[in-house]
Amino acid sequence: MSSTTSSAPPVPPADRPGAARAGRWKVLNLVLELRAFIALAVLIVVFGMLSDAFLTVPNLVTMTKHVAINAVLALGMLLVILKGGIDLSVGSIIGLAGVIAGELLGGMPLALFGVVAYPPVWAVVVLCLAVGAAVGAVNGTLVTRFRVAPFIATLGMLYVIRGLALLISDGSTYPNLGGSPDLGNTGFDFLGSGRPLGLPTAIWIMVMIAIAITVMLRKAPIGRWLYATGGNERAAELSGVPVARVKVWAYVISGACAAMAGLIMASELTSAAPQAGESYELNAIAAVVIGGAALSGGRGTVRGTLVGAFVIGFLADGLVILGVSTFWQILIKGAVIILAVVLDQSQQRFQRRRAAVSAVAAGTR
Amino acid sequence: MIEARAVTKVFDGTRALNEVDFRATPGTVTALFGENGAGKSTLMKILAGIETPTAGRVELDGEPVAFASPRHAADSGIAIIHQELSLCPNLSVVDNLFLGRELTGRGGGIDAKGQRERARAVLARLEEDIDPDVLVGELRLGQQQVVEIARALLQEARVLIMDEPTSALSAPEIEVLFRRIRELTAEGVAVVYISHHLDEALEIADEVAVLRDGNLVATAHARDVGLGWIVRQMVGRDQDELFPDHAPRTGEELLGVRDLMVVDPGDPERLAVAGVSLTVGAGELVGVFGLMGSGRTELLEAIAGRIPVGHGTVHLRGEPVDGLRIRERISRGLVLVPEDRQYDGLVPTMSVGQNLTLASVRSYVRRLWLSERAERGAVTRAIADVTVKTPGPNASITALSGGNQQKVVIGKALLTAPRVLLLDEPSRGVDVGAKADVFALMAGQAEHGLGVLFTTSEAEEALRVPDRLLVLARGRLVGEFRRGEITREELMRVADENGRTR
């Protein structure tokens, strides 16, 4: 029985039988724990050796910019997965956010006054984020108030929102979101093409969201509540955790993150297609899972999720640079996702076994 | 004969078993005693091939065996009735009875008729009127346990391991089970029997073995020993030291429950609590004694706001709390320590410290954010106050023993600074040593002026712990006694007579 007041004198590691073995275990465990980081490092080294173009600063910046969109999605997804849910609607929210931005930048007819309003870019951004958050609120309400399983609720919303995007846009793309100086609504391309302090805006947005969510998870009660709700919802409820509110917030933030991703995409292309972001929800889930989160909830970190997004992004871009066929790219991505989960499982088994064996060693000493 | 030789098993860094030698002889019932966490279930799982020993071996008739799977052990004639029911609620009784060992007819299909006949026969032997075609999920808990027993009987095993087979059975059902056990031993079956009800296990046992902290500390012939001896072997001390000294001292009324009625969440046509009124005063330690199905859990959960109240009112310090959510009741000083700590109490993915502060996490917010220092201080105090044995506040909650996990759940409740503490079976699944700590803790909280209301299904606890004892049967209070007013026999009679006709 372990105790806080152990009176056994510490034994120098070298005197312990099996110390070398224990050392090897420590290394192996560290490798397993940092597997996502190591995978990322391996990717960078291998692609760097195979292609001169890969390990250049401009290319790394470009790839990171690609990563940013998926990372922003994945960070929102992480919150939903932590509380034990899933959000399949984020890909469609990307489409909807772009369409709404396109609609607003193209002029908002106010029938009542007989004029067309052109809201400034900041208002467009705020409105789009609000729409994303509102979709999340609907997801959350379906899951909490109406007790629809998260998978089903957000699967339904995946179609509803995509349909809405197609309806609003009538299926066509909004070209040229650049705005016009006369109307005072220029600057939308800043999100996708701006480079404050030399780095693309998308990267800054990713960093800021990552910091904000890290702080939220670590320093705010709602962070603790998310982990608790995902770990054991009944215990959380009995402990007075506002479980329903926590869940709704997770979907709201996920929805807002998705809208942000949609804005970045539309801004990069200065055009918005209602089909944008199709199947992006799966990339986001994959990033969260590769980052070591448990789909059953209660376990996962911002850092892991970011690394997961980088692994997926660098892998995809690296394969493109090497000229590997798209079909192979898809296959390889699938294999990486499965491998990540297999390693996660074996790490957990490994830790249990190691604890067992070291306790035997301690007992026979 | 099945025998464990120098078996050692390690989980999560703790030695669950330490070089244990244990044997079960044909034709005898061996009762295995031990506190929770002493290693009883682990030893049985090793004998049944569910767990493999870290060191040591299992011998069957003198031959070392290494069971590759529970199936392998079952094929070798070893059957086990698990502590946790291991039935599929979505399948019928017959399907469960023959799961994994279906009778096949011509052409390899399931011989449904043959299975049903054998199922009827075995259920009749257990004198239980259960339709073999009904879904297991629709049976009450006691009947499910009978199905579990029937499944083991169907295997016609040579070694039958029963791990807490009676936890949900009524007294007549236990009698039937004991008769069947006697028949089996007469046929030469070796039975290993584990139960928390020590007197019951001693009654059926021929041989006795006691585990303490993973070590086999004593064996004896059952006729040579008594309950006192067993408890001393289990704990290493006398049972009297289990119960706290607490002088009744009742102040103002803190909790007032009037005419409470609660619909059974599992069966909407039945009242789980059928009109209960009670009060708990400041400094008072009140116990509710009730057998399974008496409505004790529903009573506490309704007071805590977890399940809806059908009728009646709950007052806290004179203010009604009806309609308030759980968290609002907690913030007013009413908190529940649930019965099933794995299911309702702990978050297994979080650390000891995070579990402790879960219910009070908002009170560690300084300005905008959680203050690590405030939280750490609370955790350190709580670990000391409820005497949790843990490698540290950051250790995983799953690494602790049952008793220490229970203390964490209680510590979590106490950190909300409650005025009334509700505890549903706080000693369930807790080893004897930790039990004493838990009772002392409850008495200590009462001394500090809290109102403490707890439930129990152990007569000894009901008689010795509370200042005032309420007896609950079929959702109604059928008796109220001060400590020392009644004997064990009277208590059982009151609870049983009123609880029988369901």
Q: What is the DSSP string of B93-149?
A: HHHHHTTTS--B-GGG-B-HHHHHHHHHHHHHHTT----TTSBGGGS-HHHHHHHHH
Per-residue model confidence as pLDDT tens digits over B332-352: 999 999 988 888 999 999 999
CB contact under 8 Å between A227 and B338, yes or no, is no
Q: Which residue has tokens 């007896």?
A: B471
Distance CA B273, CA B171 (A): 22
B168-192 b/e with 16+ CB inside 10 Å = b?
bbbeebbebbbebbeebbeeebbbb
Q: Name the residue facing A242 among B327, B344, B399 (closest C-beta).
A: B327
Please check whether residue A91 is in contact with residue A101, taking contact to mean a CB–CB distance below 8 angstroms: no
Cα angle for residues A141, A142, A146 (degrees, 5° grid):
100
Tokens of A184: 């005072």
Residue B471's DSSP bridge partners are: B289, B479
Residue A179 has a pLDDT of 79
Q: Which residue has tokens 């005497």?
A: B387
A83 and B CB contact within 8 Å:
no
Give me the residues of chain B with pLDDT under 70, please.
12-14, 36-37, 237-240, 496-502
* Residues from chain A contacting residue B390 (CB–CB below 8 Å): 2, 4
Residue B5's DSSP bridge partners are: B57
Distance CA B307, CA B298 (A): 7
Residue ranges and CATH numbers for the domains of chain B are 2-236 (3.40.50.300), 242-333+418-499 (3.40.50.300)
- Taking residue A322's Cβ as centre, other Cβ atoms within 10 Å add up to 15
DSSP string covering A236-261: HHHTT--HHHHHHHHHHHHHHHHHHH
For residue B360, count CB atoms less than 10 angstroms from its CB and return exposed for 0-12, middle for 13-18, buried for 19 or more: buried
Q: Name the residue facing B344 among A231, A235, A297 (closest C-beta).
A: A235
Residue B212 has a pLDDT of 85
pLDDT in tens, chain A (365 residues): 344 443 444 434 444 445 566 677 777 777 777 888 888 999 999 999 999 989 999 999 999 999 999 999 999 999 999 999 999 999 999 999 999 999 999 887 777 787 888 888 999 999 999 999 999 999 999 999 999 999 999 999 999 999 999 999 999 999 888 878 888 788 888 998 889 998 999 999 999 999 999 999 999 999 999 999 999 999 999 999 999 999 999 999 999 999 999 999 999 999 999 999 999 999 999 999 999 999 999 999 999 999 999 999 999 999 999 999 999 999 998 998 898 888 888 877 777 666 555 555 554 43
Query: pTM of the entire structure?
Result: 0.82
Collapsed DSSP state (helix, strand, coil) of residue B317? coil
**Chain B residue with minimal CA distance to A223?**
B370
Residue A16 has a pLDDT of 47
Work out the minimum CA distance from A30 to partner chain B, whole angstroms. 18
Partner B, chain A 289-308, Cβ-Cβ below 8 Å: 294, 297-299
Distance CA A263, CA A260 (A): 5
Residue B14's DSSP bridge partners are: B11
Per-residue model confidence as pLDDT tens digits over B208-234: 999 987 899 999 999 999 888 888 888
Work out the minimum CA distance from A216 to partner chain B, whole angstroms. 9
* Residues from chain A contacting residue B326 (CB–CB below 8 Å): 237-238, 240
B336 and A CB contact within 8 Å:
yes
Phi, psi of B498 (to 5 degrees): -80, -15
CB contact under 8 Å between B358 and A241, yes or no, is yes
Partner B, chain A 170-229, Cβ-Cβ below 8 Å: 215, 218-221, 224-225, 227-228
CB contact under 8 Å between A234 and B343, yes or no, is yes
* Residues from chain A contacting residue B212 (CB–CB below 8 Å): none
- CA B296, B301, B303, B307 dihedral sign is negative
Distance CA A292, CA A340 (A): 8
Partner A, chain B 37-66, Cβ-Cβ below 8 Å: 54-55
Residue A42's DSSP bridge partners are: none
Please check whether residue B133 is in contact with residue B112, taking contact to mean a CB–CB distance below 8 angstroms: no
Work out the minimum CA distance from B184 to partner chain A, whole angstroms. 37
Multiple choice CATH, A38-354, 3.30.70, 1.10.3470, 1.25.40, 1.10.287:
1.10.3470
Tokens of B428: 């369930």
* Residues from chain A contacting residue B348 (CB–CB below 8 Å): 231-232, 298
CB contact under 8 Å between A238 and B54, yes or no, is no
CB contact under 8 Å between B391 and A4, yes or no, is yes
Q: Spell out the alpha helix ranges (H) of B58-98.
A: 70-75, 93-97
From the list B150, B279, B185, B243, the residue with the least C-alpha distance to B438 is B243
* Residues from chain A contacting residue B418 (CB–CB below 8 Å): none
Work out the minimum CA distance from B347 to partner chain A, whole angstroms. 5
What does the longest C-alpha to C-alpha distance in chain A come to?
A: 89
